[in-house]
Amino acid sequence: MDNRRGAAVEQAEWTRLQTLFEAALALPVDQRESYLNSQDSSGTLLKDVRDLLEAHDSEDNQAKTPASDPSNSTPGSNNTVVTDDTTMLPAGHIIGQHEIQEKIGMGGMGVIYRALDSRLQRQVVLKFLPNHMHSSTSARQRFMAEARAASRLDHPNICVIHDVGETGEGHMYITMPFYEGETLAVKIARGPLAINEAIDIAIQVSDGLA
């Protein structure tokens, strides 16, 4: 139980970091600092958010210059090239034992692809650390902490972690099962949930982290 609680705490910290980063990123640059100062969070967490914002802004400036296109890489090659967070790895691109099929999601803290595990012949998801966080030590550490925390949680309501990997260029990714269906964010975007449905979802989440 103690291990599960510790893992849940690490997951909560990562989620808090993600929430603060994405909220600050959506603000004009001159409003970010006042927003962060208004948050009731640890100094270490806020420092990590500031580091990520700085890394993102630096990467954004670099992305405005011409860069190599990963679609020029040869399918079947392990020479993964990730130029910016909006670039799509092409279908057929090989990363280890995984063949990229399509990009299915992107956020401030992760870029997600559906892929085929060629060894086990199963559909999986590869969640990459975004390129603007690639050189951030704190982001890489928290990314690994997320994987370790989730891997210690054994519950039907928690996504299983298959593996953690790194491309030849040092881009980290987590391998997870591919689940059919929509995300909670997509469901909520269609409109408010019925009270009973919202309670049911909250109970399932709580059961997974209890």
| Pair (188, 162) in one structural domain | no
Same domain, 62 and 159: yes
54 and 115 both lie in a single domain: yes
What domain range is 171 assigned to? Answer: 1-179
**Core vs surface per residue 134-170: b (16+ CB within 10 A) or e:** bebebbbebbebbbebbbbbeeeebeebbbbbebeee
The answer on 128 and 29 residing in a single domain is yes
**pLDDT score for 76:** 44
pTM for this model (two decimals): 0.62
CATH for 21: 3.30.200.20
pLDDT tens per residue across all 210 residues of the chain: 455 555 555 667 767 777 888 788 888 888 989 888 898 877 788 888 888 787 777 655 554 444 444 434 444 444 444 444 445 789 999 999 999 999 998 766 788 999 999 999 999 999 998 877 777 787 888 888 878 887 877 777 778 889 999 988 888 999 999 988 887 777 878 888 888 888 888 888 777 665
The confidence score (pLDDT) of residue 77 equals 44
pLDDT at 209: 60
150 and 208 in a common domain:
no
Shared domain for 207 and 123, answered yes or no, is: no
User: Are residue 84 and residue 154 in the same domain, yes or no?
Assistant: yes
Amino acid in the structure at residue 196: N
Residue 108: per-residue pLDDT: 63
Residue 170 has what pLDDT? Answer: 86
